[in-house]
């Protein structure tokens, strides 16, 4: 049975377009109250089409006139409704000219042509182009665009679009014109236009084939000092894509524009990437190390789309992971090459386990290639992006680096200029490598996180070690039974003397992951055993090295096993994972002690492991910082939700108690390491300095949580800080642990110093939204009325309301339900202003089944939303899907 929601679109209903548009000419007349757009489309009907009517998509457009081959149509010859223009008959080949009026000034959804400050800018992915003019707004219609922009010279000296600038001229004493031409055929979602008063920094890149590319980053004049890092990152990304994928840039210029109001991180429009200012602007004064890394990876991500997305694009939006999964994989390889591979892998695994696994276990679970949707904007998800990247990474692991590269070369060559599917990608990988990926394809079609249950047996007399692996996958909406996945399980065995060399066999391959050789077991049946001969003693298995697959793994490690892995495994991810598992065990035990009223004590093995970590300066400091970070409350809640429901208050209480205890037990070690890690050289966001600051600030945070006396140390660091990383770490420590006066004083001081920098104001909002004290809710409410806060600005909303709902669990889940009501009312308002942001903000409520003692209140809030009149499709889809019967739904 099919989903009976109105407006549901299904992958299986895909039909090729009835017409192609070889050329698209757009003329924009921009003014202060509206924009008039004239589009001329060279259209031809596909040969297999018999109908001679033409339907073009369009939303929120005022149609002024429509002509076919130069003749204006009369009212009887066409029909206009809310989302389309239907022309009853058109010739096989013709030119369609539409004049429409749009109102960018009133466009608060930030999709289509809109205003951000004094700028005109566009965002067309996924279906925003239809808010600019009537069009075949689908990615398999690719056209060569020529764009003419007319605007007032004084307000909009800079006029940009895709491709190359052909001409500029003065129209009259006040207006001027620019004409842009993009020679590469592209779908409408890659169209972009910017008009405004912008300054730029310029640089150049020489390609491998010696072409000179002019690079520019356009920003407001005041931000010219924040472009250096993005420019350097761009050049590194361009070089890397040549070296690692053999991909060169294909236009003579490459432009980036920063805008303040943007729904996502950035957009890969051909030759004219548009960025959320928070993802491109940075300097040490205003940006943290994490911010520098984010800029580098997003600049690279958007640049890499030029091949994985633009030259080869998606056939339909269900194939979104074709470009996003692959490009996230590529930017991850790049970041890994530029920084610390182990830490990058830990961050990825953490994000996946905390947030993507939760998505995959919840009411919005969907395959990497979804099969149906109401609103495509709701499918820019962790599953499509992050799990999609893991799927590509598993192909890389299964094929090996060389075959994978042959596969990507074949894919780009075979499909250059085409709009293709995930299937085409997998087939290119198969054809180039000879590896059969038939069963592997289940990763694209089956939702849910696979679970591996592993048992082992050691036969001392035969010196034989056997691992038995069972896989299963819980039901998800519309999918109850799931045939087995192909899961590359990288592993090793830790013996008394260290890691054992493992023999290869048909099922046990040796593979390089992150420069280290591991055995990779190909797990592809519901249950199977792997036998290792010649093993001298019972080993400790080191499993899922490098997080080789996005799965949950269960094996009964003793705490001593975990300590052995933490200390001695050759794989950084496994060491970190063992530390997490040990901490989770200790936290669980403490939780039981609290519930049963016993006295709470912590396992001495954890403390002694910490002492070792803090005192071993041969270890990568960034990895040590990750190992000392306790599992987040969000992750602990995700785990608990699978064991009968999360008790947020208990999780918070126990985790806090462990921070305090650990901080006290290893205070001396924390303090001396804090001292040793000081940096006396000028700030650089390089791997080495980032690692030191990360560990040093981790030490500071434990010190402050263990004893109020260390607030002075934090205050000193705040005053002396030469960069935002150190300053905001100290600010956070004080805001979380200081008494009211100290906290309010320092927050006010920070605000007064940085109120002129919007990006810093957002960090200031973020810190406050996350403070776990009992004034959090009223603090957030007060900040929503602050002069700096604007509900129309997505960065503000994410920093304040998003942080509150996602990173302040005890307050979002207040027992009186006030946290839910706050979110519900913000979502209600945003539903009118910006549906994309509203439906994203709403996601924490969709996990209502996970919370013990809160389910009813959370569901009631969703029901209140469901009863709102005029729900956008975005919000409607999330609300209605989270309220439907629980997970094991009927077959589709
Ligand atoms: N394609 C963009 C990326 O690189 C995603 C994106 C940017 C987007 N802005 C958007 C998606 C607006 C939907 C709506 O990931
Ligand atoms: Zn992307």
The string of pLDDT tens digits covering residues 555-601 is: 999 999 999 999 999 999 999 999 999 999 999 999 999 999 998 88
% of the chain surpassing 70 pLDDT: 98
Q: How far does the centroid of ligand 2 lie from the alpha carbon of residue 327, in Å?
A: 6
What tens digit of pLDDT does each residue of 128-145 get?
Answer: 999 999 999 999 999 999
Q: How far does the centroid of ligand 2 lie from the alpha carbon of residue 379, in Å?
A: 12
In this prediction, residue 890 carries a pLDDT of 39
DSSP 848: G
Distant-in-sequence, close-in-space partners of 243: CB < 8 Å, separation ≥ 6 = none
Residue 514 confidence (pLDDT) above 60: no
Which atom of ligand 1 is nearest to 324's Cα? 15
Task: Enumerate the β-bridge partners of residue 48.
Answer: none
Confirm or reject: Cβ of 268 under 6 Å from ligand 1.
Answer: yes
Distant-in-sequence, close-in-space partners of 439: CB < 8 Å, separation ≥ 6 = 483, 484, 485, 486, 524
**How does residue 660 score in pLDDT terms, banded at 50, 70 and 90?**
very high
Residue-by-residue DSSP string for 6-26: TT-EEGGG----SEEEEEEEE
DSSP 600: P
What tens digit of pLDDT does each residue of 18-54 get?
Answer: 999 999 999 999 999 999 999 999 999 999 999 999 9
Q: How far does the centroid of ligand 1 lie from the alpha carbon of residue 263, in Å?
A: 8
Confirm or reject: Cβ of 263 under 6 Å from ligand 1.
Answer: yes
In this prediction, residue 704 carries a pLDDT of 98
Ligand 1 mutation pick, 263, 264, 299, 326, max ligand atoms within 8 A of CB? 264
What tens digit of pLDDT does each residue of 363-422 get?
Answer: 999 999 999 999 999 999 999 999 999 999 999 999 999 999 999 999 999 999 999 999
Residue 891 confidence (pLDDT) above 60: no
Ligand nearest to the CA of 328: 2
What mean pLDDT is predicted for residues 286-312? 98
Q: How far does the centroid of ligand 2 lie from the alpha carbon of residue 324, in Å?
A: 5
**How does residue 517 score in pLDDT terms, banded at 50, 70 and 90?**
low
Ligand nearest to the CA of 324: 2
Confirm or reject: Cβ of 385 under 6 Å from ligand 1.
Answer: no
Ligand nearest to the CA of 379: 1
**How does residue 508 score in pLDDT terms, banded at 50, 70 and 90?**
confident
**How does residue 467 score in pLDDT terms, banded at 50, 70 and 90?**
very high
In this prediction, residue 5 carries a pLDDT of 80
Residue 843 confidence (pLDDT) above 80: yes
What tens digit of pLDDT does each residue of 240-266 get?
Answer: 999 999 999 999 999 999 999 999 999
Confirm or reject: Cβ of 267 under 6 Å from ligand 1.
Answer: yes
Task: Enumerate the β-bridge partners of residue 373.
Answer: 9
DSSP 271: T
In this prediction, residue 892 carries a pLDDT of 35
Confirm or reject: Cβ of 734 under 6 Å from ligand 1.
Answer: no
Confirm or reject: Cβ of 379 under 6 Å from ligand 1.
Answer: no
Integer Cα distance of 483 and 295 in angstroms: 40
Instruction: Identify the CA nearest to 579 among candidates 610, 615, 554.
Output: 610
Catalytic positions are: 302
Residue 889 confidence (pLDDT) above 50: no
Confirm or reject: Cβ of 123 under 6 Å from ligand 1.
Answer: yes
Nearest CA to ligand 1 atom 9: 264
What mean pLDDT is predicted for residues 666-672? 98
In this prediction, residue 3 carries a pLDDT of 61
Which atom of ligand 1 is nearest to 298's Cα? 4
Residue-by-residue DSSP string for 108-150: TT--EEEEETTEEEEE-TTTTGGGTS-B--STT--EEEEEEEE
Q: How far does the centroid of ligand 2 lie from the alpha carbon of residue 299, in Å?
A: 10
In this prediction, residue 135 carries a pLDDT of 99
Confirm or reject: Cβ of 125 under 6 Å from ligand 1.
Answer: yes
What mean pLDDT is predicted for residues 158-181? 98
Integer Cα distance of 121 and 492 in angstroms: 52
Nearest CA to ligand 1 atom 3: 267
Q: How far does the centroid of ligand 2 lie from the alpha carbon of residue 303, in Å?
A: 9
**How does residue 497 score in pLDDT terms, banded at 50, 70 and 90?**
confident
**How does residue 506 score in pLDDT terms, banded at 50, 70 and 90?**
low
pTM for the full predicted model: 0.98
Ligand nearest to the CA of 126: 1
In this prediction, residue 384 carries a pLDDT of 99
What mean pLDDT is predicted for residues 68-90? 98
Q: For the chain, give the mean pLDDT.
A: 96
Which atom of ligand 1 is nearest to 309's Cα? 1
């Amino acid at each position: 049975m099919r989903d009976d929601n109105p407006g549901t679109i299904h992958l299986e209903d895909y039909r090729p377009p009835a017409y192609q548009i070889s050329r698209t000419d757009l003329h924009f007349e921009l003014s202060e109250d509206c924009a008039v757009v004239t589009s001329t489309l060279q259209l031809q009907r596909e040969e297999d089409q018999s109908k001679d009517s033409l339907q073009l998509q369009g939303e929120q457009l005022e149609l002024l006139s429509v002509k076919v081959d130069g003749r204006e149509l009369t009212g009887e010859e066409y029909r206009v409704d809310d989302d389309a223009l239907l022309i009853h008959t058109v010739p096989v080949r013709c030119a369609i000219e539409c004049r429409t009026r749009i109102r960018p000034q009133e466009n608060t959804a930030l999709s289509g042509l809109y205003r951000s400050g004094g700028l005109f800018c566009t965002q067309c992915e996924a279906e925003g182009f239809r808010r600019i003019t009537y069009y075949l707004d689908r990615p398999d219609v690719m056209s060569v665009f020529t764009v003419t922009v007319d605007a007032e010279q004084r307000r909009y000296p800079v006029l940009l679009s895709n491709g190359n600038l052909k001409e500029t001229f003065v129209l009259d004493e006040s207006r001027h014109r620019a004409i842009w031409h993009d020679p590469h055929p592209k779908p409408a979602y890659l169209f972009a236009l910017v008009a405004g008063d912008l300054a730029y920094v310029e640089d150049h890149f020489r390609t491998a084939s010696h072409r000179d590319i002019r690079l520019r980053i356009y920003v407001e004049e005041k931000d010219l000092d924040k472009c250096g890092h993005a420019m350097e990152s761009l050049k590194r990304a361009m070089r890397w894509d040549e070296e690692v994928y053999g991909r060169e840039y294909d236009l003579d210029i490459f432009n980036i524009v920063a805008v303040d109001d943007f729904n996502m991180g950035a957009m890969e429009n051909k030759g004219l990437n548009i960025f959320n200012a928070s993802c491109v602007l940075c300097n040490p004064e205003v940006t943290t190390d994490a911010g520098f890394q984010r800029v580098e990876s997003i600049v690279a991500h958007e640049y890499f789309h030029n091949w994985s997305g633009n030259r080869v694009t998606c056939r339909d939006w269900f194939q979104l992971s074709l470009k996003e999964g692959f490009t996230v994989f590529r930017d991850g390889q790049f970041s890994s090459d530029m920084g610390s591979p182990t830490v990058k892998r830990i961050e990825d695994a953490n994000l996946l386990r905390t947030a993507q696994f939760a998505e995959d276990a919840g009411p919005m679970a969907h395959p990497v290639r979804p099969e149906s949707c109401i609103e495509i904007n709701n499918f820019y998800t962790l599953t499509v992006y992050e799990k999609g990247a893991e799927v590509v990474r598993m192909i890389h692991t299964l094929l090996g680096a060389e075959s994978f590269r042959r596969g990507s070369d074949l894919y780009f060559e075979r499909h250059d200029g085409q709009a293709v599917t995930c299937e085409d990608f997998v087939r290119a990988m198969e054809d180039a490598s000879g590896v059969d990926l038939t069963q592997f394809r289940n990763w694209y079609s089956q939702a849910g996180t696979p679970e591996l249950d592993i048992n082992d047996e050691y036969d001392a007399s035969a010196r034989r070690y056997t691992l038995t692996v069972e896989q299963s996958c819980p039901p998800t909406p519309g999918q109850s039974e799931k045939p087995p996945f192909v899961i590359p399980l990288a592993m090793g065995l830790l013996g008394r003397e260290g890691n054992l060399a493992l023999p290869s066999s048909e099922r046990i391959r040796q593979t390089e992951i992150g420069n280290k050789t591991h055995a990779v077991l190909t797990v592809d049946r519901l249950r199977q055993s792997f036998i290792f001969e010649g093993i001298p003693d019972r080993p400790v298995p080191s499993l899922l090295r490098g997080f080789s697959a996005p799965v949950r793994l269960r094996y009964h490690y003793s705490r001593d096993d975990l300590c052995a892995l933490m200390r001695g495994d050759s794989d950084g991810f496994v060491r970190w994972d063992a530390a997490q598992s040990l901490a989770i065990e200790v936290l669980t035990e403490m939780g039981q002690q609290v519930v049963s009223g016993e006295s709470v004590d912590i396992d001495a093995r954890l403390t002694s492991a910490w002492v070792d970590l803090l005192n071993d300066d041969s270890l990568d400091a960034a990895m040590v910082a990750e190992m000392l970070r306790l599992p987040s409350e969000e992750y602990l809640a995700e785990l608990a939700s699978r064991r009968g429901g999360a008790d947020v208050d208990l999780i918070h209480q126990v985790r806090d108690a462990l921070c305090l205890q650990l901080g006290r037990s290893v205070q001396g070690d924390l303090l001396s390491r804090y001292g040793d890690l000081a940096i006396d050289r000028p700030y650089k966001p390089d791997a080495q300095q980032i690692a030191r600051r990360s560990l040093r600030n981790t030490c500071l945070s434990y010190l402050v949580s263990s004893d109020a006396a260390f607030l002075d140390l934090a205050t000193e660091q705040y005053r002396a800080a030469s960069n935002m990383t150190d300053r905001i770490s100290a600010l956070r420590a004080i805001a979380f642990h200081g008494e009211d006066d100290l906290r309010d004083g320092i927050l006010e001081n920070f605000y007064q110093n940085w109120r002129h920098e919007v990006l810093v104001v957002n960090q200031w909002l973020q810190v406050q939204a996350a403070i776990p004290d009992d004034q959090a809710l009223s603090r957030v409410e007060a900040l929503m009325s602050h002069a700096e806060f604007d509900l129309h600005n997505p960065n503000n909303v994410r920093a304040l309301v998003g942080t509150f709902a996602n990173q302040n669990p005890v307050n979002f889940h207040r027992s009186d339900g006030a946290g839910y009501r706050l979110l519900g009312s913000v979502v209600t308002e945003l539903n009118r202003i910006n549906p994309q942001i509203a439906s994203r903000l709403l996601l924490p409520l969709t996990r209502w089944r996970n919370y013990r003692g809160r389910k009813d209140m959370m569901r009631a809030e969703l029901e209140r939303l469901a009863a709102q009149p005029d729900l956008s499709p975005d919000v409607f889809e999330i609300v209605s899907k989270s309220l439907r019967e629980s997970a094991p739904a009927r077959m589709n």
